[in-house]
Amino acid sequence: MGSNSDEGAGIKATETTFAIVETLADLERARLTEIADAVGIANSTASDHLRTLREHGYVVADDEGYRLGLAFMDTGTRAKRYYRDLLEAADPVLEQLVEETNETVNLVAEENGEGVYVDRRVGERGVPTDSWVGRRKPLHTISAGKAILAELSEQRRDDILDHGLAAPAERTITDRAELEAELASVRDDGVAFNDRESHGRIRAVGSPIVLEDEVDAAVSVAGPAKRLTDDYFREEIPSLLQGAVNEIELKLTYR
């Protein structure tokens, strides 16, 4: 019984540590009492966790409070090694796609049922959005995510979608049958569309990178909804995008 109690306490402690990390990520810098209040723990508990994080380089303390340390940069860089081949193959292709569209180009992979931005390039006409390298989003809300969902096995797709369909925007698809019908079209066409479903002013087009019938990742082109319209949105960008994805697939196949 004591072992079970220790295990439970260990899990709770880990959750508390990550809650502190996420709080600092949101606030950028905060004092001890602010962190403790945000996480809902005693000052002494927050202090213990912060001391451990400081000892490992994940938190820095100064006169103005606490902030995240650069140990996260080292860890993040090493985490990206898993995608080394993909990033190397995609690098020149993404750059070319940016030059051709002048929009924002994203490389997205699926991890733990979410879409994670592993690379991002912004063209001359690209606009700031709420996405960045490392950002995670529900797969069904973004074009690259829908492109990935469409190519996953039915069992894997069910495992992800059974957790529910969050709605970050008014136009987000939250009906399971409607989403499945759209994913069937994505499988047929090789292109997914985000029509203001993740952000009310953004449209995007996504296409999957598929190797040996397994989806590796997806590439998307995003821009202002008022600019990505008509044939530019439905025809021109999809054509450029599919050509780029095909080049990445060939590079990975014959690397």
Residue 74 lies in a domain: no
The rounded distance, in Å, linking the Cα atoms of 28 and 200 is 26
Domain containing residue 180: 82-253
Residue 11's pLDDT is 84
**Residues 6+ positions from 120 with CB-CB distance below 8 Å:** 104, 105, 106, 107, 131, 132, 133
Tens digit of pLDDT for each residue in 229-248?
999 999 999 999 999 999 99
In a domain, 77, yes or no: no
Q: What is the pLDDT of residues 121-131, one digit of tens each?
A: 999 988 877 88
Render pLDDT for 24-33 as a digit per residue (tens, 0 to 9).
999 999 999 9
**Among 38, 69, 100, residue at a domain's last position:** 69
Is residue 93 one of the residues assigned to a domain? Answer: yes
* pLDDT on residue 10: 56
- Sign for the pseudo-dihedral over CA of 89, 90, 94, 100: positive
Share of the chain above pLDDT 70, in %: 96
Same domain (yes/no): 65, 91: no
Same domain, 168 and 106: yes
- Which amino acid belongs to residue 220? S
**63 plus 89 within the same structural domain:** no
Same-domain status, 180 and 211: yes
Is 37 contained in some domain? yes
Q: Count up the domains in the chain and report the number.
A: 2
Read off the CATH number of the domain in which 210 is found: 3.30.450.40
